[in-house]
Chain A
């Protein structure tokens, strides 16, 4: 009986153990399956990246994340758009955080952070490879844009993004609560540099208020690489003619770069070409310039402003140079 009871007990214990084992196994399988599912579908949450100062940048559930893998120097337009578009969806709107996973070398990044003081986290790829590959499946440093939803799903991954993709993507997935009218293209009579513009002298890196009236050579940032590799040289080849033309009309002449450009890169190019023209950068928006550049397919524009800063004429650099050499 005892033995029998014991046997029953053992049987019950054995039964419990079996059920417990089955339950543990089932839970394990479920957890494993969930893990695989999350891995396969890209649902793993990204955590424990570290920014340029070594601070942890945690990605948590319940927020959107827009991440860009690329160079803060070469991909300045995308970085700029990411900062602008995530800021528009800030407090009061969907919770979205922009993060740049920067492929630049650490000294370049430190200089960038110090100069530009970005509001987004700048995470060096070189010290975050493991976290990136395990959680974002970013197996290499290819330029790419990723969007992670509040459930931790990677809902978009696109290689070689253009800066315009950032707005399109966020407008689709994370609509802004702030309806902001797109400004019309800058036109004659408009203001090139409104009072709200923040202008720095690109050589001294200090704020400066340019004198008027001016014949401006405006580097729009529609294609920063094209501008620096081609149009800057073109401008240099006609620099003295530009100055003469401006002086004949009692104008100053100057170059201005939009905030899409990397100041150190521009400075380096200006020095290597030995430019004499004053050079400025607008660190804020230039209303209507993007739209004008887009409409006219122009990377560089020549814009004349009067003493009040109003636009008197607009031409593409190509057309201006053609006229100049004729």
Chain B
């Protein structure tokens, strides 16, 4: 753990965002007044993911193999390049539990590395088979997206013991129709999900390559299945499976196939008790606990493709951008004029 105060600096700027009207069916996104944008940048890093938890903001810097934690004016850092205990190599994702323990998908070391609230190494367990999607609940149970095991999500204790798995896999052609029969062999890729846990231990899963969001209870029972249907998302959905993927949208390669991403990230805001979904067209949809669309946001940030998002208690939405050292924020709907 090192204090890197001084490495980081702030840049303020003006950007704009737009909100979409609440919709329960397909509606177009409507522009609203410009919103303030603030950028937090590192001098040398690539920010892969942001999480706001309590008074702190956690930033995964995949280039420096570290997580930076901002609490007030204090900045601490965990991890450094290496294969040893408490080291990280190409960290890809992380989650923070209520006790401020940090769970890192330490991609290059193929393990889930855990740090305690004092940023000390608490051990690690193998990330096998290779996961995508990570969340923790209030009991310290670790949820990993591992469709290779036959279910969407598998649950582990902090020592890596698999406790249970849940979530039936989806056959691509059952969503996209007969033309996707040729992709039915890519079950693992099409069942990759981003995961978020709410305060009740419910688990939200947003499919990376499918316009679907599932919500499970703490035991893994399916509460609802939501099909995302917005006209502005249609071109994104239509480009899934196109080879090579069109350059209009961000595409990622998981499990040997490069495809346009439909859902880039999902996060749950305990303050407003809503789920925020970052879509493949830079839009954000806010869902209530039943999966109903509340409203949408369209930040007009001309900086590239948004990658992950997190919501601060004050309603600010923090976002990272693919390949960028910068962090952006824009107010959520309640601050739109």
Q: Are B325 and A297 in contact (CB under 8 A)?
A: yes
Distance between B37 CB and nearest chain A CB, rounded to angstroms: 16
Residues in A whose Cβ lies below 8 Å from that of B90: 158, 160
Once A and B bind, how many residue pairs between them come within 8 Å at the CB atom? 40
A162 to B48 CA separation, bound complex (whole angstroms): 15
What bracket does the count of chain A residues touching chain B fall in?
10 to 19
At the interface, yes or no: A165 with Cβ under 8 Å from chain B? yes
Q: Are B43 and A168 in contact (CB under 8 A)?
A: no
Q: Are B81 and A168 in contact (CB under 8 A)?
A: yes
Interface string of B29-44 (1 = CB under 8 A from A): 0000000000001011
Say whether, besides A159-B108, A295-B43, A297-B304, A165 and B325 are in contact (CB < 8 Å).
no
Q: Are B81 and A297 in contact (CB under 8 A)?
A: no
When C-beta atoms are compared, the residue in chain B nearest to A291 turns out to be B44
Say whether, besides A165-B81, A294-B325, A158 and B44 are in contact (CB < 8 Å).
no
A297 to B82 CA separation, bound complex (whole angstroms): 25
A169 to B63 CA separation, bound complex (whole angstroms): 12
Say whether, besides A158-B89, A294-B44, A297-B304, A168 and B325 are in contact (CB < 8 Å).
no
Distance between B281 CB and nearest chain A CB, rounded to angstroms: 19
When C-beta atoms are compared, the residue in chain A nearest to B80 turns out to be A172
Interface string of B139-174 (1 = CB under 8 A from A): 000000000000000000000000000000000000
Residues in B whose Cβ lies below 8 Å from that of A162: 63
Residues in A whose Cβ lies below 8 Å from that of B80: 168, 172
A219 to B279 CA separation, bound complex (whole angstroms): 31
CB within 8 Å of B: which A161-188 residues:
162, 164-165, 168-169, 172
At the interface, yes or no: B21 with Cβ under 8 Å from chain A? no
When C-beta atoms are compared, the residue in chain B nearest to A294 turns out to be B44
At the interface, yes or no: B138 with Cβ under 8 Å from chain A? no
CB within 8 Å of A: which B206-247 residues:
247
Interface string of A237-253 (1 = CB under 8 A from B): 00000000000000000
Residues in B whose Cβ lies below 8 Å from that of A297: 304, 321, 323-326
A308 to B83 CA separation, bound complex (whole angstroms): 49
Residues in B whose Cβ lies below 8 Å from that of A165: 65, 81
Q: Are A168 and B44 in contact (CB under 8 A)?
A: no
Q: Are A172 and B81 in contact (CB under 8 A)?
A: yes
A164 to B63 CA separation, bound complex (whole angstroms): 7
Q: Are B325 and A156 in contact (CB under 8 A)?
A: no
Task: Rank and list the top 4 A-B pairs by shortest CB-CB distance, nearest first.
Answer: A297-B324, A168-B81, A158-B89, A158-B108
Report 9 cross-chain contacts, Cβ distance below 8 Å, ordered by A residue: A155-B83, A156-B83, A157-B83, A168-B64, A169-B81, A172-B80, A172-B81, A172-B82, A297-B325
> Could you tell me which A residues sit within 8 Å of B by CB distance?
155-160, 162, 164-165, 168-169, 172, 230, 291, 294-295, 297
